[in-house]
Amino acid sequence: MTLPGDARVRGARLPRKERRAQLLDSALEVFVAQGYHAAAMDDIAERAGVSKPVLYQHFPGKLDLYLALLDTSCDAIIDNCRRALDSTQDNKQRVTAAMHAFYDYMAGDDGAFRLVFESDLTNEPAVREAIDRVTNQCAAMIADVIHDDTGLPGEASRLLAVSLVGMAQVSARFWVTDAAGISQDDAVGLVSGLAWRGIRGYPLTDEH
């Protein structure tokens, strides 16, 4: 049975790259709706309008498919964070831009954030590694800014950076699931204001 609302044409031939993208889109819908354990390759193939052998030509198993989606989601968050930090030299604006990077991702219509922040497969080492990559790489970029601007030692800068990333992740996840009535801009303003009031207490390297 085709999932409700889907009317893709079975058997249409697509270039390999386009077929892979189509399969990933269909898999995302199924994983977000059902979670990893409840999702079946049959459901994903049906959603994409292809046979299971076609699906297996591109992804040997369900975990391979999930990891491909997870890597894409993690790359998107990291790239968003990098662009936010590069968007300005004003550190107050950087904090706000970085918060927006997480909130924008959480607010996405496709629900992809659930793969990263609400995965039911975190005991799988490859999944845990991918999820940790978001925190580690975003924190590393932020730590470089903190270190350059404050002169704090590397480990201290990294601890502060991980704290900021954690604040962004947890608050954005809470906002998208439980904070009805607070607009995205208001939520970002509240949390980035809190973060900035803390981080600005560390003086610039050329101040005494």
pLDDT at 117: 80
Query: Comparing C-alpha atoms, which of 88, 90, 101 is closest to residue 165?
Result: 101
| Interacting residues of 62 by C-beta distance below 8 A, sequence separation 6+ | 36, 39, 40, 41
d(CA 70, CA 208): 45
Dig out the tokens for 45 from the structure.
């193939």
**In this structure, are residues 85 and 98 in contact, taking their beta carbons and an 8 Å threshold?**
yes
DSSP string of 190-201?
A: HHHHHHHHHHTT
d(CA 97, CA 19): 35
**In this structure, are residues 145 and 91 in contact, taking their beta carbons and an 8 Å threshold?**
yes
Q: Give the tens place of pLDDT for each residue, 146-198.
A: 999 888 999 999 999 999 999 999 999 899 887 668 999 999 999 999 999 98
| Interacting residues of 128 by C-beta distance below 8 A, sequence separation 6+ | 122
Q: What is the mean pLDDT of the chain?
A: 86
Q: How confident is the prediction along the chain (208 residues), in pLDDT tens digits per residue?
A: 344 444 444 445 777 788 888 999 999 999 988 888 888 999 999 999 999 999 999 999 999 999 998 898 899 999 999 999 999 999 999 999 999 999 999 888 777 888 888 777 778 899 899 889 999 999 999 999 999 988 899 999 999 999 999 999 999 989 988 766 899 999 999 999 999 998 888 766 554 4
pLDDT at 24: 92
